[in-house]
Amino acid sequence: MTQPTWDAVDAYFSDTLVGHDPVLEAASAAADAAGLPHIAVAPNQGKLLHLLALTVGARRILEVGTLGGYSAIWLARALPADGTLITLEIDPKHAEVARGNLARAGLDKVAEVRLGSALDSLAVIGAEGGEPFDLVFIDADKVNNPAYFAWALKLTRPGSLIVVDNVVRGGAVADAASADSAVVATRRLHDVIAAEPRVTATSVQTVGSKGYDGFTLARVQN
């Protein structure tokens, strides 16, 4: 199998099961026009996040890593009218694009983009003492993933889902000798998850328009 085949299969599933969505397409176009990197989730992956949020009945969602707001739109669309999505972004330009995209999607009343270091923002959220989050999507710098996961555990409840993206690293995650900081951190993340009795988890490899990668899905236990 080759990248063109992966692209074609992703396009087939997206065309068949996701379909034409002017709001999401406009969000992608705005991100491209602003020069943002092409690392947002694919349409079929975005719909997976949406379905997970619907399945868990999410009323509060936390996203670590906003980029242009593409995945935030998918997640926020799964919320009820009185739901809340908080998404964290360190880059002011990315945050500006995301706020515009969320506003055009009619989601700015339920979705809040917080600017700053995610670890600092997570500490603020923890200090605010709000209700726990029903779903956490982690898709930011990989080196801090173990710390992001630790915060996700603190800010969720039994039954909540935690999704961590980009965990396969093109297959490099299997290399115990890797010196790549993202790979080292990803392996440490999974060691933490494996030793954590409060969660049950699995990881899934994926191929598609975003290349060879995958995600980890964890459910917080009673």
- pLDDT at position 175: 96
Average pLDDT over residues 55-70: 98
- The number of helix segments (H) and strand segments (E) in the chain equals 8, 7
Collapsing DSSP states into helix, strand and coil, what is residue 112?
Answer: strand
Average pLDDT over residues 96-102: 98
**% of the chain beyond a pLDDT of 90:** 97
Cβ contact 134:160 at 8 Å: yes
Q: Give dist(CA 166, CA 24) in Å, integer.
A: 21
Beta partners for 145?
Answer: none
Question: Residue 88: which pLDDT band, with cuts at 50, 70 and 90?
Answer: very high
Q: Is a pLDDT exceeding 70 seen at residue 170?
A: yes
Which of 126, 124, 100 has its CA nearest to residue 113?
100
Q: Is a pLDDT exceeding 80 seen at residue 1?
A: no
Beta strands in the chain (DSSP E): 60-64, 84-89, 111-115, 133-138, 156-165, 199-208, 211-220
Average pLDDT over residues 118-128: 98
Q: What is the DSSP letter of 172?
A: G
Per-residue model confidence as pLDDT tens digits over 206-220: 999 989 999 999 999
Per-residue model confidence as pLDDT tens digits over 129-145: 999 999 999 999 999 99
Q: Which residues of 57-72 are buried (b: 16+ CB within 10 A; e: fewer)?
A: ebbbbbbbbbbbbbbb
Q: What is the average pLDDT value for the chain, to the nearest integer?
A: 96
Q: Is a pLDDT exceeding 70 seen at residue 17?
A: yes
For the purposes of burial, counting CB atoms within 10 Å of the CB of 26, is it exposed (0-12), middle (13-18) or buried (19 or more)? middle
The answer to whether the pTM exceeds 0.95 is yes
Q: Give dist(CA 219, CA 119) in Å, integer.
A: 22
> What is the token pair recorded at 157?
């409840």
Q: Is a pLDDT exceeding 70 seen at residue 111?
A: yes
**% of the chain beyond a pLDDT of 70:** 100
Q: Up-side HSE of residue 153: CA atoms within 13 Å toward CB? A: 17
Which of 111, 44, 23 has its CA nearest to residue 75?
111
